[in-house]
């Protein structure tokens, strides 16, 4: 079976990576791509990635793209993702969401779409990072609150949300391991006279600079030892590859909200 995959935000950095990954994946073809009205005018999507013409031009109508695709991949921004989720709900098209920095209201729109369409949403589509999530949950469960948990992340200077979606995913995995809500135990900033660290707190530290694609470390510390789990991305291709894998996996799936742990069989 051939899977026709559409790409919203196709002229962006991740959009171009996704096009390249689709072209390199057997059984997948590029269905089309969109940019916001007034975006780049491109005669053919192949020109975005330096290949021969694909016979597909960039459009600006997400609903039309969803209607002609078996699955659509979205690494855009929250305002655009709301529009794309509504298109997925209207068409029932499989939808892969990698956008971060979403509000609870944004998430509600995605959840609504999942009643009508199969959706994979993940803060990170790397296989290695999703294994990190699974390991973090396991370690947090085994060590308990005798160990303090801190999540450290660094990204390039252009990233606009902090902490990263991946860092929050690590924190959520740690909280799940302890059977608590991250909202109840997260500590996102420390400055001045903060007092001693609270037992059970999950702390976050954010670094920004240069062209770092994504470095994430979760630290478990007590008075006698420290255990660190680290993932460092050296290519955005790992995110595109995971997203294309998710798009193919969604074919034939019932409507619902899935994660990369489902795609990879980690649960």
Question: Annotated active-site positions, please?
Answer: 155, 159
CB atoms within 10 A of CB 8: 28
Calculated CA dihedral for residues 224, 229, 234, 237, nearest 10 degrees: -170
Structure tokens at 17: 């990576």
Q: How far apart are CA 261 and CA 122, in angstroms?
A: 9
Structure tokens at 235: 């290519």
Q: Is residue 134 within 8 Å of residue 264, measured between CB atoms?
A: no
Q: Is residue 187 within 8 Å of residue 202, measured between CB atoms?
A: yes
SS3 assignment, position 143: helix
Q: Is residue 58 within 8 Å of residue 41, measured between CB atoms?
A: yes
Which residues, in sequence order, are bridge partners of residue 210?
none
Q: What is the DSSP string of 151-172?
A: EEEEE-TT--SSS-HHHHHHHH
Q: What is the DSSP string of 173-213?
A: HHHHHHTS-HHHHEE----SS--SPPTT-EEEEEEE-TT--
Q: How far apart are CA 190 and CA 143, in angstroms?
A: 24
């Amino acid at each position: 079976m051939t899977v026709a995959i559409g790409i919203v935000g196709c002229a962006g950095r991740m959009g171009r990576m996704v096009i390249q990954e689709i072209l390199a994946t057997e059984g997948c073809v590029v269905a089309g791509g969109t940019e916001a009205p007034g975006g780049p005018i491109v005669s053919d999507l192949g020109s975005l990635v330096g290949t021969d013409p694909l016979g597909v031009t960039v459009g600006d109508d997400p609903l039309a793209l969803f209607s002609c695709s078996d699955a659509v991949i979205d690494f855009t921004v929250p305002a655009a993702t709301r529009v794309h989720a509504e298109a997925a709900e209207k068409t029932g098209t499989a939808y892969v969401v990698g956008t971060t920095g979403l509000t609870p209201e944004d998430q509600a729109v995605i959840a609504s779409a999942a009643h009508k369409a199969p959706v994979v949403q993940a803060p990170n589509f790397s296989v290695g990072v999703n294994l990190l999530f699974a390991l973090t949950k396991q370690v947090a469960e085994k060590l308990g609150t005798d160990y303090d948990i801190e999540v450290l992340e660094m990204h390039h200077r252009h990233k606009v949300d902090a902490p990263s979606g991946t860092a929050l995913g690590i924190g959520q995995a740690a909280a799940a391991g302890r059977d608590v809500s991250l909202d109840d135990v997260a500590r996102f900033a420390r400055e001045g006279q903060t007092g001693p660290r609270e037992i059970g707190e999950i702390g976050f530290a954010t670094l920004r600079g240069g062209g770092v694609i994504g470095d994430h470390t979760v630290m478990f510390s007590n008075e006698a030892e420290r255990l660190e789990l680290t993932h460092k991305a050296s290519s955005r291709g790992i995110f595109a590859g995971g997203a294309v894998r998710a798009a193919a996996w969604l074919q034939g799936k019932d409507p619902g909200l899935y994660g990369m742990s489902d795609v990879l069989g980690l649960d």
